[in-house]
Structure 1
Amino acid sequence: MIFLYFFSSLSCLPSMGKFVDSLNVKLIGSWPFGSVWAVTMDTARNLVFVGSGEGVYIFDVTSPDAPLRLSDKIRTRGWVISLTYDEESQILYAACMEGGIEIWKVSDPASPFRLGRRILNKWVISVAPCGQYLYAVCWDTLLRIFDISDFKLTPVDSIFIPCWGTRLIVSGNYLYIQGTDFLGVWDISDPLTPVFLDSLRYFTFGYGMDKEKKYIYTTGNYNLYITDVSEPSSLLRISRVELNMWLDWDVNVEDTFAYVTSLSDGVFIVNVSDPSSPVNVGRYVEGHDSTYTGCFAYKNHLYLGAHYRGFEILEVSDPSSPTCIYFYDVPYSISALYKLGNYVYLGEEGRVWIIDVTSLTYPSYAGDFEVPGKVKDILYPGDYLYIAVYGEGVRIYDITDPVAPVWVSSIIDASTRYIESICIDSVYAYLALGSSGIHVYDISNPLLPFRIATADTRGKARDLCTGEGYLYVADGDSGVLIFDISVPESLKEVSACSVSYAHSLVLSNGYLYIAQLNDGWSIWKVEDPLNPACVFQDTTITGIRRIAVTDSFCYVAGDSGVYVYRIMQPESVFQVGYYKEKRIRRIEVEEPYLYVSTLTAALYIFKNLLIQGISKISSPSSFIVCSDFLELPEVKGKISLFDVCGRKIKEEYLHKKSRISLENVPSGVYFLTCGEGERKKVIRLIRVK
């Protein structure tokens, strides 16, 4: 089954329940746009709604060759897989996969607002409103019914359907449900008690209905099928036409033509003026990509989701020769992130996006520019912006105007095309070049960089950093290699950190934090780089690609979320927070805020809620293990007891007594502060019973 094949093979699908699983980390804003799956339209107002990643763009298409983007303010908490629009009420319903169902009022398209949201423990695939109720199908065999009279999406019932539901259409008093190998119709004269009428069993995937509600068009097994539904109690498949496509996705009918999209073979145009004898008359495979998803046809134009590249508008007045007249690019898979002032630079294949984060709750698009390959790293050492572009090398930009960078120079030679990362120390740029090792460039004049040294590595150099005259290289299966760079023209390997795999690394206060992908992460003491020593290892988190470190916290970004660790001493870090968000790729921290990109959404902004509490406590000077009572004979004045999350749970003033009762304090790790100013002490306390 194509639907099952498609979703089981798509590695970027998130898991359910991610929105309720967090500790001391809060999502405060996002610019979550990504691949386009859903397109629908308000024909009365010439508005097109484009589901992109975890958001929806609204376009005014009064002039289809020059549409205006009115809004990007619809930001959901799940991947927008389908959209349903009610023109009469001007309400947009979004099926958001693991993000559940969202309802938005779009009377003012420039300022839409959310009316309701319901998160389910299932992937929501399609929804259809019916009066005060809403029907929904998820990736299971239930049809769910919700009361939306007050937009609270209160569940009222569910009924069994004989297959996994994929699409819904409400037409009058009838509900049509498409499944993986099924097309069925229910009488919904009583919306709370659907009555099954009839069904056809055959493989289906793409799904649409003509405007007169007489025919349903479905796709599957390389065919477009046409079913007569004029008598809902007796469905009749009347014709089919063979289409040379695989992974068909959507069908939309306008006038006498059916438009069929495919995830691999473009768009097919079928003449259905005689539904009993459809004829394939045109195909669109040109443009930016042959992968297409949601579509909506109106008059002589087809509004088209171009999957991971964006949104297209086709002129289809001549169905045999459709022509692209407009293209709007969207972000897809962010591979590099850099926070600079009020802007975040997001790099991906062929493009860098510039996002204004002056408003943390509603970051906004500020600009973008093209690059000739996949962006692997972005760095701003203080004069120019350096962008590592796989397939070329390093591009150097003047960002006097941060939203309009000017390309001024490059670092390019035969090996730089394999670049993975860049590090700049003083007037030297160190390039990690995969299996080509390391190259060093003199950038004392950034407009005229030149190579001064190279060094082979035993594995694939993926990331690097410098400190105190040494270069640390994450070298894949070869672990971390350490080079003496006191003479940059002559690199000398002096030692190594033996880890199973090194993907990226961060150096902070004499300790090296190493991300090891599926082998967890570790901390190595490198105060003496000639004799590095592992002081901490954690293999419980997988898919770790990036780590960010501040004075008090370590942020570990993995396939299952971002995890916050308290650094009292690197030898004894402990987890104090997390936020479950699937497949995080990059993270930058400017406390208390975390800037994060994932595989499916361009930018999230989280807040570390601990900054106001425990982060203000300095590293402990000692630790105590105690049971029900704590003896502090030398302490006078105020003492405060904090848990590991920074919450103050007890406060007392010690004058004549020196004993504190902990009888009502649960077992665990705590921090005790006593004294003021320079005499202030922090004691790590382990409470046992």
Structure 2
Amino acid sequence: MKGNTLRTPSIFHALLITAFALLTIFPTPCAGSGGSCLEFEGRWPYGVAETVAFSGSTVAYSAGSVLRFVRLDDPENPVQLGEVTLPESARHIELVAERSIALVVCNQRGLHVIDYSDPAEPVIASALDGYDYTQAAVAKGTIAFVTTSDGLLSVDFSDPTDLQLLGSPDPTIGASSAVISENFLFVTTSDGDLAIYDISDPVQPVQVSVTDSYPGLNLAVSGNFLFGTAGNSISVFDISNPITPSYLGYFISSTDARFNSLAINGSFLFGTTSFSPVPNEKTGVMVFEMTPENEIVEIGLWESDARTWGIAIVDGIAAVANSHRGLQVLDVGEPTALSVVSAIDGIGSINSVVKKAGFFIAAESGHGLRVIDLESPLPEQTVARLPLPPGAADLALMGDFAVVAGGSGGVHIVDLSSPLTPTLVAGVEFSDKAYRVVVQPPLAFVAAGTAGLRILDLTNPSDPQEIGHWLDPLVNFTVVSVAGDLAYLLSRDPDGPYVQIDISTPSNPTLVAGGKTRQTRYSRTINAFGNRLFYCFFLTDVGPFLSELDPDELEFWPGLGTLPVYNSCWDLAATGSLLFVPQFGSIMTCGFAKNGVIPVYGQAPVPGYPFRLTYASGKLLATSSDGGFVVFNVGFFCDGFETGDTSTWSAATGMK
């Protein structure tokens, strides 16, 4: 294993990790807009496990926007208790076991106090909303310290049903991470500093010091040392004297993996990782020991094929939020050889969803197809599942069949004539992953990475035939859209191109136009609706935009019209002259370009990032980064036109 002497931070490293923190924690806020043409109908809130807390024998962890409680009296036999649905996914969980209270932070939706005195029926007792980017909550007694971009808040939860905001020690500086050690509170500020407060009297915290060294995120304390993550590095402070803390330096993981959270057991530090830019490097839970000589020694790794996010440890047992693998219970008593004691199966991200015969058919990462009945009560809404390793990235319906883009598994054809018993009938593999699929019966068009556009004839769904393909082996195409005799492919790689393909002869698709997207950093999506073509992208030095393109010109800037969007858009849907545009926290209802502008008619809130949109028969389905999907009824009038002068609406939208 690798041992690293702590590195002395350079000015460049300090600036780099400070910039990383600011971009990660405090993105540009979303501008408001008018009403909405979308009427909320329902939501399936489940998703991957990301955050976990552990106290006594109680574990609370997030599964999308659902908070679940588990009893671990016997770690080999975890008992699932109850769950409660949150307005969005949990960013951080703090268990106050002596009061059977969970403090749950929901980023854009503030602090939520969960009463789990009856763990089979946990309830939201109260909430403190209205603060941007709420990141963490820690408690001393009945006082919670909550980090937000508006500052560090002190909240009295002695009456869980009636929160009392006590104030902010310094409302001029935002805060992100926090941890308590005895009578001191350690906070990462939005300026990239470490602020330390004396909380001997938690009602009146007193700031005792501020360092100009960035402590990182996901703070953890062990004895006289404070640790914090910053990308692929962990910062270390000597806090033996909290009034004059000393920055010892940082160390980088041997795999260059990004750390997500930290936990400490004895003299050992456990860091969860989820991504490494180095090909074929392992991720999971990394184990370190800090020696008296200030050397960080990497002594072990528990590998996982899914991203590991949160970790909490009690008495040598770790609860790990393991993405689509759910909750993993590990024995960490032997740090060099962590072992799985038990697990609770997880739920993957919903990548795409369609509706058929009263059921919702979802493409689920890490698993396959999930059939959901929203008329049933939670959590019994899943009525059928079909494993399709390594998971489902996209799907489209063709009659009684689902055509599933299954990543490295290729394309799967599934018989849904009986939705309660989905049956795999055929499959086709390619030289690269199947990312996205569009169906124009009897043909299916697949974006297959460096394998390009693959065209399948599904006249006989149980015997699909590949009849044509077009590719550029140097480009990783992950998005496809089709309108009439034209297909559009797009690469989401940096400066990736989009291309227009003539598919009038499916057996011989030919390149019409395309090339590098000048001045762009990342492309998001390209969508064709009849003779209208739209492209979402991030314009260097300007920001994310949506453009309507002329299919005969393909000039993306400024195109026929543009619209700035918040944090870009990953997919689009349309009906008539209405265009639905996802952005962080909402879906905009827009029109087609007029006079160089794409008009916005309304906006509907959505938890997290809405990724994939599907419109059919008056319903708009939107998958969410916060778990599951949301269902909307689509109205024809909005922003004051609901009962007003519909001729004005018709003139604005071209709709009757």
Q: TM-score, normalised by structure 2?
A: 0.73
* Equivalence for 2:590: 565
Partner SS state of residue 390, structure 1: coil
Q: CA deviation at 1:450?
A: 2.2
* Equivalence for 2:459: 444
* Equivalence for 2:488: 474
How many residues are aligned here? Answer: 591
* Equivalence for 1:195: 206
The answer to whether the aligner puts 1:596 opposite 2:605 as a matched pair is no
Match of 1:352 among 363, 368, 371: 368
Unaligned runs of 5+ in 2: 1-13, 277-282, 491-496, 518-522, 539-544, 553-558
Partner SS state of residue 539, structure 1: strand
The answer to whether the aligner puts 1:116 opposite 2:126 as a matched pair is yes
Q: CA deviation at 1:345?
A: 3.7
Counterpart residue identity of residue 62, structure 2: G
- Residues 154-182 of structure 1, C-alpha deviations (whole Å, 9 max, x = no match): 5332113998644445577x342233553
* Equivalence for 1:676: none
**Preserved contact between residue 320 and residue 328 of structure 2 (Cα < 8 Å):** yes
The 2-side partners of 1:121 and 1:20 are apart by 19
- Residues 126-183 of structure 1, C-alpha deviations (whole Å, 9 max, x = no match): 223455543222347x4322344464545332113998644445577x3422335536
Alignment of 1:351-370 (within 5 A): 351-352=367-368, 354=370, 356-359=372-375, 364-366=381-383, 368-370=385-387
Partner SS state of residue 304, structure 2: coil
Counterpart residue identity of residue 578, structure 1: Q
The 2-side partners of 1:259 and 1:102 are apart by 29
Counterpart residue identity of residue 385, structure 1: A
Counterpart residue identity of residue 463, structure 2: L
* Equivalence for 1:143: 152
Partner SS state of residue 90, structure 2: coil
Structure 1's 480 and 357: CA in aligned 2 closer, same or farther, altered over 3 A?
A: farther
Q: CA deviation at 1:49?
A: 0.7
The 1-side partners of 2:613 and 2:247 are apart by 55
The 1-side partners of 2:471 and 2:288 are apart by 58
The answer to whether the aligner puts 1:410 opposite 2:427 as a matched pair is yes
Partner SS state of residue 325, structure 1: strand
Match of 1:339 among 333, 355, 358: 355
Q: CA deviation at 1:420?
A: 4.4
Match of 2:98 among 85, 88, 91: 88
Alignment of 1:244-263 (within 5 A): 250-253=261-264, 256-263=266-273
**Preserved contact between residue 561 and residue 598 of structure 2 (Cα < 8 Å):** no
- Residues 317-353 of structure 1, C-alpha deviations (whole Å, 9 max, x = no match): 3333221233456556654333334443443554335
Partner SS state of residue 398, structure 2: coil
Counterpart residue identity of residue 105, structure 1: D
**Preserved contact between residue 37 and residue 307 of structure 1 (Cα < 8 Å):** yes
Match of 2:60 among 33, 42, 49: 49
* Equivalence for 2:646: 671
* Equivalence for 2:541: none
Match of 2:611 among 585, 590, 603: 585
Q: CA deviation at 1:473?
A: 0.5
C-alpha RMSD of the superposition: 4.9
- Residues 362-403 of structure 1, C-alpha deviations (whole Å, 9 max, x = no match): 674555554445744302212322112233431112335535
The 2-side partners of 1:60 and 1:134 are apart by 24
The 2-side partners of 1:403 and 1:130 are apart by 50
**Preserved contact between residue 283 and residue 321 of structure 1 (Cα < 8 Å):** no
Counterpart residue identity of residue 390, structure 1: G
Structure 1's 683 and 589: CA in aligned 2 closer, same or farther, altered over 3 A?
A: closer
From the CA coordinates, give the structure whose radius of gyration is larger: 1
**Preserved contact between residue 90 and residue 106 of structure 2 (Cα < 8 Å):** yes
Counterpart residue identity of residue 271, structure 2: T
The 2-side partners of 1:241 and 1:491 are apart by 53
**Preserved contact between residue 479 and residue 502 of structure 1 (Cα < 8 Å):** no
Unaligned runs of 5+ in 1: 527-535, 616-642, 650-669, 674-681
Structure 1's 573 and 88: CA in aligned 2 closer, same or farther, altered over 3 A?
A: same
**Preserved contact between residue 430 and residue 448 of structure 2 (Cα < 8 Å):** no
**Preserved contact between residue 224 and residue 238 of structure 2 (Cα < 8 Å):** yes
* Equivalence for 1:505: 527
Structure 1's 26 and 113: CA in aligned 2 closer, same or farther, altered over 3 A?
A: farther
* Equivalence for 1:73: 84
**Preserved contact between residue 571 and residue 612 of structure 2 (Cα < 8 Å):** yes
The 2-side partners of 1:550 and 1:361 are apart by 31
Q: CA deviation at 1:35?
A: 5.2
The 1-side partners of 2:288 and 2:601 are apart by 58
Q: CA deviation at 1:9?
A: 6.4
Q: CA deviation at 1:116?
A: 1.9
**Preserved contact between residue 134 and residue 147 of structure 2 (Cα < 8 Å):** yes
Counterpart residue identity of residue 377, structure 1: D
The 2-side partners of 1:198 and 1:87 are apart by 30
The 2-side partners of 1:454 and 1:282 are apart by 48
* Equivalence for 1:186: 198
Counterpart residue identity of residue 610, structure 2: I
Counterpart residue identity of residue 218, structure 1: L
**Preserved contact between residue 217 and residue 225 of structure 1 (Cα < 8 Å):** yes
- Residues 576-613 of structure 1, C-alpha deviations (whole Å, 9 max, x = no match): 21236564320123565432124x323341535x72xx
* Equivalence for 1:554: 579
* Equivalence for 2:227: 219
* Equivalence for 2:73: 62
Counterpart residue identity of residue 413, structure 2: I
**Preserved contact between residue 521 and residue 539 of structure 1 (Cα < 8 Å):** yes
Counterpart residue identity of residue 589, structure 1: Y
Partner SS state of residue 56, structure 1: strand
**Preserved contact between residue 19 and residue 580 of structure 1 (Cα < 8 Å):** no
Q: CA deviation at 1:490?
A: 6.2
**Preserved contact between residue 241 and residue 278 of structure 1 (Cα < 8 Å):** no
* Equivalence for 1:104: 114
Counterpart residue identity of residue 504, structure 2: D
Structure 1's 562 and 591: CA in aligned 2 closer, same or farther, altered over 3 A?
A: farther
Q: Which has the higher contact order (CA 8 A, sep 6+)?
A: 2
* Equivalence for 1:634: none
The 1-side partners of 2:562 and 2:109 are apart by 29
Alignment of 1:503-542 (within 5 A): 503-507=525-529, 511-518=531-538, 520-522=546-548, 537-542=560-565
**Preserved contact between residue 24 and residue 577 of structure 1 (Cα < 8 Å):** yes
**Preserved contact between residue 65 and residue 627 of structure 2 (Cα < 8 Å):** no
Structure 1's 237 and 392: CA in aligned 2 closer, same or farther, altered over 3 A?
A: closer
The 2-side partners of 1:310 and 1:84 are apart by 19
The 2-side partners of 1:114 and 1:21 are apart by 30
Structure 1's 161 and 24: CA in aligned 2 closer, same or farther, altered over 3 A?
A: closer
* Equivalence for 2:556: none
Structure 1's 244 and 448: CA in aligned 2 closer, same or farther, altered over 3 A?
A: closer
The answer to whether the aligner puts 1:646 opposite 2:655 as a matched pair is no
**Preserved contact between residue 177 and residue 183 of structure 1 (Cα < 8 Å):** yes
Counterpart residue identity of residue 219, structure 1: F
* Equivalence for 2:601: 576
**Preserved contact between residue 329 and residue 340 of structure 2 (Cα < 8 Å):** yes
